[in-house]
Amino acid sequence: RRWQGRLAEMLSDFRELAGVQGIDFGYSLVRYQYDAGEREQALAHYHAVMLRQPLPPRRDLLGGATLCNLAYLAARGGDSTHAPQLYDALKPLAGSFANTTVAKPVGEHFLGVLATVLDEPAVADAHFAAAVVAHEKADAPLLVAETRVEWARLLCGTGDTDRARELLAEVDDTATTHS
């Protein structure tokens, strides 16, 4: 439902678990809470998590997913304080897909959003380009589109609106093809 913009339909089912310590999928739920429109609450959960979450996180199947979700929230909240730590922790996973039950973009994607927060547009641009290549190689058009949206966000911030429009037109084509 995330890609359909329908997460709000499920908020009542997971709101209480968002960011709860000890629940493996709690950080994913914070991201979904943000995407469902409860942005202030989600960012409050994110900041509470960052006070207790060691970086890098524990080394298990959820370590990469944890970093990806926290990177996403750092970007949405403009958290330049924790972004460098998240970037360093996520960098070894640049070419990895940190999937659990829900597909997530490759690590390069999340490094790109963190580089955007850190005002490193050339670095972010390179990460987004690498993410698109990885997603295309994996035959994952919706992940390609998700990266192009983030890339366009970066380009709008740097004033390259023509290139941003091109990327968003490609996203629109993907949405039309896969709807």
Contacts of 83 (CB under 8 A, 6+ apart): 71, 74, 75, 114, 117, 118
Average pLDDT in the 95-106 region? 83
**How far is CA 174 from each of CA 22, 89, 116, 136, 144, rounded to the nearest angstrom?**
37, 32, 24, 12, 9
Q: Which of 20-24, 52-56, 59-63, 151-155 has the lowest mean pLDDT?
A: 20-24
- Give the mean pLDDT of 62-77: 90
Position 107 scores a pLDDT of 95
Confidence of residue 157 (pLDDT cuts 50, 70, 90): very high
Average pLDDT over residues 108-120: 97
pLDDT, residue 92, reads 94
Are 54 and 85 contacting, i.e. CB atoms less than 8 angstroms apart?
Answer: no
| Gap between the Cα atoms of 148 and 71, Å rounded | 17
User: Is the pLDDT assigned to residue 16 strictly greater than 70?
Assistant: yes
Residue 3 has pLDDT above 60, yes or no: no
pLDDT at site 143: 95
Asked if residue 2 has pLDDT above 70, the reply is no
State the burial class of residue 104 (Cβ atoms within 10 Å of its Cβ: 0-12, 13-18, 19+): buried
Q: How confident is the model at residue 11 (pLDDT cuts 50, 70, 90)?
A: low
Q: Answer yes or no: is pLDDT of 61 > 90.
A: no
pLDDT of residue 52: 86
What's the pLDDT score for residue 17? 67
What is the reported pLDDT for 20?
A: 64
pLDDT score recorded for residue 62: 75
Binning pLDDT at 50, 70 and 90, where does residue 39 land? very high
